Structure 1
Amino acid sequence: MTSPAPDESRNRVDALPKSWNPSEVEGPMYEGWVRAGFFGADPTSDKPPFSMVLPPPNVTGSLHMGHALEHVIMDALARRKRMQGFDVLWLPGTDHAAIATEKIVETQLAADGITKDDLGREGFLAKVWDWKDRSGGTIGSQMRAIGDSVDWGRDRFTMDEGLARAVQTAFKRMYDDGLIYRAERLVNWSPELRTAISDIEVKYDEVEGELVSLRYGSLDDDEPHVVVATTRVETMLGDTAVAVHPDDERYRHLIGTTIYHPITERQIPVIADDYVDPEFGSGAVKITPAHDPNDFEMGLRHSLPMPNIMDEQARIIDTGTEFDGMDRFEARVKVRERLAEEGRVVAEKRPYLHSVGHSERSGEAIEPRLSLQWWVKVETLAKAAGDAVRNGDTVVHPASLEPRWFGWVDNMHDWCISRQLWWGHRIPIWYGPDGEVRCLGPDETAPEGWVQDPDVLDTWFSSGLWPFATMGWPDASRDLDRYYPTSVLVTGYDILFFWVARMMMFGTYVSGDAVLGGGEGGAGTVPFRDLFLHGLIRDQFGKKMSKSRGNGIDPLDWVQAYGADALRFTLARGAQPGSDLSIGESHAAASRNFVTKLFNATKFALMNGATADPASTPSLDRASLTAADRWILDRLEQVQLEVDAAFDRYEFGKACEALYHFTWDEVCDWYLELAKVQFNSGDETLAERTRTVLGSVLEALLRLLHPVMPFVTESLWQALTGGESVVIANWPESSGVDTDTTAAQRITDTQRLITEIRRFRSDQGLKDKQKVAARLVGLDEAGLAAQRPAIASLAQLTAPDADFRATAALEVRLTAETVTVELDTSGAVDLEAERRRLEKDLAAAEKELAGTTAKLGNEAFLAKAPEAVVDKIRARKEFAADEVARLRARLATMGAE
């Protein structure tokens, strides 16, 4: 390769801004990529396919830092696979978020004094679609801002026509197979939203309540009675039993009898059940089957009545008491007051800290409530999902999370899929005038006079079909043929049980479909081959980010402040399979500095005429290269192999660490400095070879960094190569050249020698740029004769003249030889001031040595102090001893001792 003409080199430098300003570059650059079609998948391509689906964020929201982490990981995978020659499909989309969306629109209507009931179902849905069309693009613009290389031409929405067809098809098949049924069961109920909600939409918080102990039965101590404790006094209106442990001697005489209920005045049975803990409280518990999950299970075991005492807004109903019509919290107070008046409140503990489930969407305490709902029978589906991982059809990364997966799918309960909402996929069940029930598929029409079930499906039902429904299922398509099953699913371990399990159950269920490549009785095609589970984002103190804590960070704020590349590198550098990562402003600032370092290094290379040709690998006669050139080329090769291995194991943090330290510590801190010496040698042939090596190393490094830092690498790669885009450049491949161990050793020795000289200079009080005369003894014997110019330049040394007299010296042990460095520091250092400084430091070191020695000689101290404390003092003593020796030696060279 020859150097570019001076004008060409200058033009390439001038094409870059004076400094990297991401806000001016990133937006236009991204839109240019989209216009060029770089992100589009091609099902007719002869390249091997690689496919992913984006976990669809809620259309109501915006990207939080957890989303950003997920998107950066997926984008890094997609960009690298494209560069490796794969036809990449990364399919984007958003979720209709039934509860959140309906609540937003209801709130907007309420501001105008309108309810959804005023509009009716169709009118309300028209309002929701209008809101979605106006506000649903926020996520997409944010994805563009962080550089997501998704195929925008395949953007999907969980309520679009194709997904609706898939949902109806899946529901009907499962219904016909007996996997979907309707039953009255206990659910998480949101009184504000007036719907059942899923487990993932319930968050548990420690709250201050009260624990009230109540007396059931007679007030006469000689007559049958029991004391029960509860935090929800109002639920006693729905009690149908009192339970004790069968082996509890205190209550054995009451088992099988009835006891007086103080409010309803009914006689309720005393039952025995192993679930009751005789050591907790009085050992007796009240049983309210319709409003407590444990009581519900006990009610099933003992065939107890299950009266529902609350309506959909959690108001007391149908108890025949003065509390009917009251809100549950008002009733809690009034019931307790009445019982207190009757002398039935035995004890009250207030405040009483206990865990209470709250609706994540509306914030209020959820109410366990018996309700008629639609359910999926999960036993066979969950088994198939578990077997997919057991059999290795889907591989979990990290493998350490497999037990959590099995713990969930092997113990899964039937899934409540109905929601009492209007926005969402309506359940395709129709009821006839004479009580007929029929499930209709997407191509079927209900008979006249039939009425559709009013409920909609849980959002997780439609998103569970996402990997194949987005590619055209249940109809045949080229995308399904080519891209399904997907290559990898990237998601957080916190939704492993909710979304991932649903997809696995649905995927294995429909896998026999001929459309998915299965046949009759076809078995077990999984929706994704690899499952990469990332951790949670935490702040710099290790606390989970959340709005309630006020420690959440908007990723777009960091994009604006530091650039998308800095955000991306910060997140990718901390991303290890299954591990949480803590980040703060300092991490983003450090990543921005790294971007700046890379920018300045490449600009320096261009200013010195270094370029690279993306169409060909430079022809390098390694025998003619310097040790520094051979060393950096070998290190590039080793880092490339390390990065490849880390990417293949989804260890993004390790890949980024390797690239960071190679770029900063080896390319910038060492090779660029060594290259300057070679550029300034006066040997144009040497300078030309240096340009070739530097350009080659930077060009490959920019390609390696591109998946994680796409914007700055694109700008620099285009300037360095004149090529179209690094997005479509080839991923670096191994050269197959053996490592030059001799060159590596020589550069290692050179680095060590320069580092020790710099440290010695600092100890001598010399300024960084202050030149001093020096004589290097043993350099030739150490094999470093060729490195003499570099050592002199980087250690700020000049050649000794005829009057040279060494005033200081150090010995540096290298691989095969010890090199003695003799320096003439006379006139360079204020000896008296330096002597005073060293004497002060020596006194402090001697005091530390004496103190730590005394402590370690104190037997009483050693007997009581923790081992870690003793070890710390030993380390302090060793450090102090070394300092004393060093400072005394330094003073000795100055004639003080």
Structure 2
Amino acid sequence: MEKTYDPSKIEARWYELWESSGYFAPSGQGEPYCIMIPPPNVTGTLHMGHAFQDTIMDILIRYHRMQGRDTLWQPGIDHAGIATQMVVERQLNAADMTRHDLGRAAFIDRIWQWKAQSGGTITQQLRRLGASVDWQRERFTMDAGLSAAVREVFVQLYDEGIIYRGKRLVNWDPVLHTAVSDLEVVAAEEAGHLWHIRYPLARGGAHLVVATTRPETMLGDTAVAVHPQDPRYRHLIGESVRLPLTEREIPIIGDDYVDPEFGSGCLKITPAHDFNDYAVGERHALPLINVFTAAAQINDTAPATYRGLDRYQAREKIVHDLQALGLLERVDAHRLTVPRGDRSGAVLEPYLTDQWYVKTETLAGPAIAAVESGRIRFLPESWSKTYFEWMRNLQDWCISRQIWWGHRIPAWYDAEGNVYVGHSEAAVRDKHELGDIALRQDEDVLDTWFSSALWPFSTLGWPQQTEALRRYYPTSVLVTGFDIIFFWVARMIMLGLRFMGDVPFREVYIHGLVRDADGQKMSKSKGNVLDPLDIIDGIELDALITKRTTGLMQPQLAPMIERATRTHYPSGIVAHGSDALRFTFASLATTGRDIVFDRGRVEGYRNFCNKLWNAARYVLMNTQGHDAGLEGGAIKLALPDRWIISRLQRAEQEIIDGIHGYRMDHAAQALYEFVWDEYCDWYLELSKATLQHSDDPAQLRGTRRTLVRVLETVLRLAHPFIPFITEEIWQRVAPLAGRTGTTIMLEPYPKPADERLDESAETELAWLQSFILGVRRIRGEMNIPPGRAVPVLLRHANRVERERLTDHRAFVDALTRLESITYLTHEDTVPESAMALVGELEILVPMAGLIDKSAELLRLDKERQRLTRDLDRTEQKLANVHFVAKAPAAVVQKERTKLAELRSALSRLDQQYQRVRAI
């Protein structure tokens, strides 16, 4: 083995070998275990959320593969309709072209060309992370098989009356000219205004004041609403007002939706331009008057003076005209929630348009029952409440989009506007005996979520009844974020039950969002976005700054981000490797909603990998070329050997329990503590006493065999979490442990054995650990040089304790460097000593002669001064009311913890100072 652990030399090499050898494919043997990867966008790149999610899935897949399950991790990519179309349209725009210059067919060809050349970047990045998906089965939501499944579902649901076409309000992007889903809406509070407008009563003599944040929509008002119990206005219900700037009169209606406390208590109702107003309009049979074009310009329905104006130009003119007419009472500053499209950044409009819809009522009932009955289990269970809340308040699902890239809706129209739905134009003509009359296909495509909702069964070959479909459906678990429970999870359940007659997965593991070390959501504008590949491979500081500041919408953010980056990364980013990042994610995978990611933890787990590497080098140096018990011969296990074997059984059970309970953090912690604290820090150190001083061949053979077999088992335990380093080490260790497999990933996962538990060994060694730690604590507190042997005096030692020290003196000496052990009686005079307690046993180390008193007092005094300065600074910071009020809570708590630690350290230092002075 190389002396130094370098992940860059092993990770890519092992992944290429795994993939080329077909190790990721299902074995065809054992009970099926299947996970469908949530298909990332074809335009996407690996971000922290992907890396976290895919690490969890890979742990599950590798674990169950090693358990002998017939494991399929199904990969694939989503065609990402709007995002992909935007990418290619920008390329055309750079050449002074638009998609309309090419035409639909040529534009779609151009997208396919782009996909072949540049799409799927994220799949290469997933390989870098170590994702063991079966790449030979990779699917794309626009490939021929999935397209056939989409058409089949659409046709069946249309024939059953579940899919229909209707005119309703949608979220409309006036830049992209398409409806968008709620998930593509980014709502944020922004500064705006509240305009108070006078609407004259039709009978004259008075007016109502209506407050609005969007005066341009008043051109489409069809009523003014008041609360039916509002004493100021209830007598006016049934009368009319003259709608300013138009020639129309509109009614005054009473509706409980109106908040009497907001504004004047009078609400303008514009059913064609507001979702809440639309519901009010339905209750009162109000007309729907759309005053916008698809580009959010005023259309011909409005008065001529405003036609053709952009919505914000129209706003300025309307406000100006109202003021000129004396109808603008006042304007107030007002903060409001503004919906913007996540792709275009444009303010979205509720827009009345013809769209295709899925009736969700008939599909929702079975989907709710599947979770209520336990056929599907949410983890954590609390997310089922969110699921039920959404499912019991479903609106019909708008599935059409006004773009070119996607599954084109399989519907055709004749000259009279009659609609015909089928798998193809030929099928439509044949079914309806249309002969050769002219037909035109619907221009719209289906919402990306429609094809994604079929993912669990379309990827397995449906509508064909394939062997893969029979074997792997239902899948075992879905790993996903809470933000798409409704948009994807619920729709997969509804359509899976409808077309497969069974749930699409048995469990839904909901993970949280990845946030930065301060708990803030990662965003480019904040400069706190982390690229997982930068953490894996490393990046120079200047390159990182360039990457973070390039392409920002607000150039003034660049210097702020540069300052923040240089502060957090003073020496750049060190390459940590994929294993360290994966283990970090596993350690953070709790059942909470948010994952607080601290780069310092990756450094810590990089050290963990290095610790494992060095442990393996020690084992190999002491076992290769030696008798490790493979060829037979007497075996004698010393106390540390029996202890580590017993502790291994407990660690195995804890790790297995953690994985089965979706508590990867518990599993990772159990693995870390066993490897670092027990195997490396204790057992390897204890083994040196046997290897260096024992002349018993049976005991030497037993220790070498234990070293190898425990390490080999640890590598299999750790493989799902840190696959690369475990494979690299296992290839060298496996022959010494008698294993002949070709790869660790196909070896059996360890199982604890009760007969290998040894409670007496655990009890005895736990006592020795306490004794050793007591001596070490004294050495540390007294600053005794490591190479200096110390005499130990023991008081109140009972028979069992004396026997333990006699039997295991070699181990104690090896870890504490004892000069001698003296057992004291009650009559013995005890010199000035440092003391540690192990139960009733007093461990005493005489201080005289072991330290330079003057030098030690000087050292302690300097340390006391340093701690006092730090304590004063921390106290002053916490005494600053502005700091406590404005700093993040986590930062304030960190300072308070630091204060407590400094006070404790000073107290210990004072005690030590007094002991040294007394010598």
TM-score (norm 2): 0.87
Residue 319 of structure 2 is aligned with which of 336, 340, 348?
336
Could you report, residue by residue, the CA deviation over 1:28-58 in whole angstroms, capped at 9, with x for unpaired residues? Answer: 210100111110124xx33211111110000
1:25 maps to what in 2?
10
In structure 2, what is the Cα distance between the partners aligned to 1:294 and 1:675? 74
In structure 1, what is the Cα distance between the partners aligned to 2:224 and 2:416? 41
- Provide closer, same or farther for how the CA distance between residues 618 and 296 of structure 1 changes in structure 2, counting only shifts above 3 A: farther
In structure 1, what is the Cα distance between the partners aligned to 2:46 and 2:902? 52
1:681 maps to what in 2?
693
1:703 maps to what in 2?
716
- What's the CA shift for 1:879? 5.4
In structure 2, what is the Cα distance between the partners aligned to 1:341 and 1:542? 51
One-letter amino acid matched to 1:38:
Y
**1:383 to 2:365 alignment:** yes
1:530 maps to what in 2?
507
Residue 596 of structure 2 is aligned with which of 571, 582, 586?
582
2:534 maps to what in 1?
557
**1:548 to 2:537 alignment:** no
One-letter amino acid matched to 1:585:
R
**1:662 to 2:683 alignment:** no
Residue 649 of structure 2 is aligned with which of 623, 637, 647?
637
Higher relative contact order (CA 8 A, sep 6+): 1
CA contact (8 A) 2:516 2:522 kept: yes
Q: Greater shift after overlay, 379-388 or 419-428?
A: 379-388
User: Matches of residues 611-626 of structure 1 in structure 2 within 5 Å?
Assistant: 624-626=636-638
Could you report, residue by residue, the CA deviation over 1:444-501 in whole angstroms, capped at 9, with x for unpaired residues? Answer: 5343421111100000000000000000101110100100010111111111111111
1:424 maps to what in 2?
406
- Provide closer, same or farther for how the CA distance between residues 441 and 702 of structure 1 changes in structure 2, counting only shifts above 3 A: same
- What's the CA shift for 1:244? 0.3
2:563 maps to what in 1?
none
**1:130 to 2:113 alignment:** yes
In structure 2, what is the Cα distance between the partners aligned to 1:149 and 1:298? 53
- What's the CA shift for 1:738? 5.4
- Provide closer, same or farther for how the CA distance between residues 619 and 755 of structure 1 changes in structure 2, counting only shifts above 3 A: farther
- What's the CA shift for 1:628? 1.4
The residue matched to 2:110 in structure 1 has which SS?
helix
- Provide closer, same or farther for how the CA distance between residues 884 and 79 of structure 1 changes in structure 2, counting only shifts above 3 A: closer
Residue 809 of structure 1 is aligned with which of 819, 833, 846?
833
- What's the CA shift for 1:744? 1.2
Residue 778 of structure 2 is aligned with which of 760, 763, 768?
760
**1:240 to 2:222 alignment:** yes
User: Matches of residues 784-795 of structure 1 in structure 2 within 5 Å?
Assistant: 784-795=805-816
Could you report, residue by residue, the CA deviation over 1:251-304 in whole angstroms, capped at 9, with x for unpaired residues? Answer: 112110110111113111111000001111110011111110000111111111
Residue 290 of structure 2 is aligned with which of 300, 305, 308?
308
Q: Greater shift after overlay, 416-425 or 264-273?
A: 264-273
1:179 maps to what in 2?
162
**1:647 to 2:659 alignment:** yes
Residue 567 of structure 1 is aligned with which of 581, 599, 610?
581
- What's the CA shift for 1:322? 1.0
- What's the CA shift for 1:847? 14
CA contact (8 A) 1:610 1:692 kept: no
The residue matched to 2:525 in structure 1 has which SS?
coil
One-letter amino acid matched to 1:143:
L
Structure 2 residue runs of 5 or longer lacking an equivalent are: 430-435, 538-574, 823-827, 872-892
One-letter amino acid matched to 1:61:
G
- Provide closer, same or farther for how the CA distance between residues 97 and 619 of structure 1 changes in structure 2, counting only shifts above 3 A: farther
In structure 2, what is the Cα distance between the partners aligned to 1:680 and 1:217? 102
- Provide closer, same or farther for how the CA distance between residues 638 and 679 of structure 1 changes in structure 2, counting only shifts above 3 A: same
- What's the CA shift for 1:834? 2.8
**1:820 to 2:797 alignment:** no
CA contact (8 A) 2:511 2:589 kept: yes
The residue matched to 1:593 in structure 2 has which SS?
helix
CA contact (8 A) 1:84 1:731 kept: yes
* Identical-residue share of aligned pairs (%): 45
Could you report, residue by residue, the CA deviation over 1:296-350 in whole angstroms, capped at 9, with x for unpaired residues? Answer: 1111111111111111111111202311101111111111111112222212123
1:467 maps to what in 2?
456
1:516 maps to what in 2?
none
**1:454 to 2:443 alignment:** yes
CA contact (8 A) 2:400 2:445 kept: yes
- Provide closer, same or farther for how the CA distance between residues 617 and 51 of structure 1 changes in structure 2, counting only shifts above 3 A: farther
**1:829 to 2:843 alignment:** no
- Provide closer, same or farther for how the CA distance between residues 478 and 685 of structure 1 changes in structure 2, counting only shifts above 3 A: same
1:82 maps to what in 2?
65
1:517 maps to what in 2?
none
Structure 1 residue runs of 5 or longer lacking an equivalent are: 1-15, 513-524, 850-867
- What's the CA shift for 1:770? 3.1
The residue matched to 1:211 in structure 2 has which SS?
strand
1:852 maps to what in 2?
none
CA contact (8 A) 1:611 1:691 kept: no
CA contact (8 A) 1:401 1:578 kept: no
- Provide closer, same or farther for how the CA distance between residues 359 and 457 of structure 1 changes in structure 2, counting only shifts above 3 A: same
TM-score (norm 1): 0.89
CA contact (8 A) 1:373 1:418 kept: yes
Could you report, residue by residue, the CA deviation over 1:762-815 in whole angstroms, capped at 9, with x for unpaired residues? Answer: 2223123433344556386413322322222212322379xx998553554435
1:522 maps to what in 2?
none
- Provide closer, same or farther for how the CA distance between residues 876 and 62 of structure 1 changes in structure 2, counting only shifts above 3 A: closer
One-letter amino acid matched to 1:119:
L
The residue matched to 2:26 in structure 1 has which SS?
coil
CA contact (8 A) 1:384 1:508 kept: yes
The residue matched to 2:103 in structure 1 has which SS?
helix
CA contact (8 A) 2:169 2:272 kept: yes
In structure 2, what is the Cα distance between the partners aligned to 1:100 and 1:848? 52
- What's the CA shift for 1:875? 8.2
Residue 345 of structure 2 is aligned with which of 343, 363, 378?
363
**1:718 to 2:731 alignment:** yes
- What's the CA shift for 1:880? 9.1
CA contact (8 A) 2:380 2:509 kept: yes
1:600 maps to what in 2?
614
Q: Greater shift after overlay, 137-146 or 679-688?
A: 679-688
- Provide closer, same or farther for how the CA distance between residues 755 and 611 of structure 1 changes in structure 2, counting only shifts above 3 A: farther
Could you report, residue by residue, the CA deviation over 1:627-646 in whole angstroms, capped at 9, with x for unpaired residues? Answer: 21111111110010011111
Aligned length: 838
CA contact (8 A) 2:690 2:703 kept: yes
- What's the CA shift for 1:832? 2.4
User: Matches of residues 778-789 of structure 1 in structure 2 within 5 Å?
Assistant: 778=797, 781-782=800-801, 783-789=804-810
The residue matched to 1:71 in structure 2 has which SS?
helix
2:42 maps to what in 1?
59
One-letter amino acid matched to 1:714:
E
CA contact (8 A) 1:610 1:694 kept: no
2:261 maps to what in 1?
279
One-letter amino acid matched to 1:660:
Y
